[in-house]
Structure 1
Amino acid sequence: MFKLHTTLTGHRNPIYALAESAKPGILFSAGNDKGIVEWSLNKMEFIMVKWPINSSAYCLCSHEHLLFAGERSGKITCFNFIDQKLVWNEIIHQKPIFDIKILKNKNELLVCSEDGSISIWSLSDFKEIKRIPLSNQTIRKIGVHPEENIIALACKDNRIIIVNTNDYSIINSFEAHLPSTTSISFHPNGDYLISGGRDAQLKIWDTKDYKLIKQIPAHMNSIYKIAFHPTLPIFATASQDKSIKIWDAENFKLFKILSLEKLGIGHKHSVNDLIWTKDGKQLISTGDDCLIHIWD
């Protein structure tokens, strides 16, 4: 069963990104409000604007005592919770940053941008290690394999690009969704790559040779997020069609629809991001309606 627990309000503009702190019970959100907002999941209430930013934030990434935000301006900011201050504030891409991921094994940060490149940074000193131009169009999302030996990139030019993280060489590149691939995630067992696109389709790819195994007409519009539950064999998808859908991660069958149309409660506009809490007890969603829904 899924039940709406609480709705957090306060944002006045669309929200694009969510992240849970390493410290249990703390949530962060960001979007067009030009500030990173901190919430208490224990009290289900607003805490503070953690730090202001100069442009919209499209992505957040939490790692240990650090929280990263990627901005429309191409700037990345990083807050250190031990020092309680910003420790990185720099324009690193000339166009908007759309996703940030961590390679824990290599202590590296991956950033993708509308400029069609990914940049790799050291988490030790925030120095650039490498920059790889891959497309003439936006790279929207980064998927990291559970073993961290490969990453998958969702591209606006409709491709998925597979990159070896040992030397950042391209392993594979193939057409996936028309006109663009908008979301991507590896299955926790590493055997499958799941992608979503502006075509509203979910596609399941075998990670041995990246052959298409299954195609699902999943939504009515673009799929913006694919998020696997931390322990259970299910995953959730968020879409521009205002709905969240829960899927069986073993047979890829639809399990539940969370929407205003189906339940009488849900998002009124595009659902832009969703995350599972680390304990797996709640699903948190947000979107263009400026609301944060917390589902038990």
Structure 2
Amino acid sequence: MGLLDTGLRLVAVFVAFLTLPLLVGQMEHKAMAHMQSRLGPMHAGGFHGWAQLIADGVKFAQKEHVVPEHADRTIFSLAPAVALLPYLLVLLVIPLGPGLVALDLDIGLFYALAVLGVGVLGSVMAGWASANKYALLGGMRSAAQLMAYELPLVLTAASVALAAGTLSLTGIIGAWSPWWLLWQGTGAVIFFVAGLAELHRPPFDMPVADAEIIMGPYTEYTGLRFAFFLLAEYAGIVVVCALTTVLFLGGWRGPFLDAQLGWLWTLLKVFALAFVVVWLRTSYPRLRSDQLQKLAWQVLVPLALAQLALTGVIRVVMS
């Protein structure tokens, strides 16, 4: 019975992995169409452009797979999977509701952060293996961005673990209280911003700056391989928003009926944060490389260290 229950949980996570990123992508199409008065995504297929996502999928499936002559074929082919699969592995430890988690690890936060950083390596691999100078530049920018923003991401997550006294994501939700927003709010903003930077989402999309380096590490990719990179981006949005929800917004805890409607509160928070991701894309211009690095090292890292120190002081006082 235990094996059957575990299998059902794994299947549920896999289904969520296949559907939630697509729903975020559809929401981005619609939200950007409204914000920028773009008519196309609002009319594809008829009622409110319901077929836009299907049209995109058919378009990618019809495109020819092209591999550059001088590319490293093995690394070139593996890069989309390396970019996509880590987000599936992270979803295994994210609790959707009370008891609704595939793997309830005692070190779930450590595991999630360790695996989350692997996804960026797919972009680095793609840039190096493509035998294209623009792709290589994009891969180098991805590596530099990862090193800059991984530190504030980990520091703010460590602050939450220190406050909760556990690395278990379920335990963190159990220790959470609304007043955390008063002294962990800065950490929440830092974690969310650093997560967007690791995903290369605007305004932190220097590695794929189309006006400068075409599509960065994805320049030579076509068809379904390119679609996997796009799916990895949307899956990353789901994971970053879900981790922000669990660490800072109480996860499944809502105004009422947490045990019965916990999964609903979690999804509402995740999609609210995903909407903020879309809103930032349409509202802010892309940062320059030097601005991006300065934001990380001169603003986010000092603030993350201050947040960690504040958490330590409050823990000592409360004990």
- Shorter-chain TM range is under 0.3
**Structure number having the greater strand percentage:** 1
TM-score, normalised with respect to structure 1: 0.27
- Which structure has the higher relative contact order (CA within 8 Å, separation 6+)? 2
Q: Greater helix percent: which structure?
A: 2
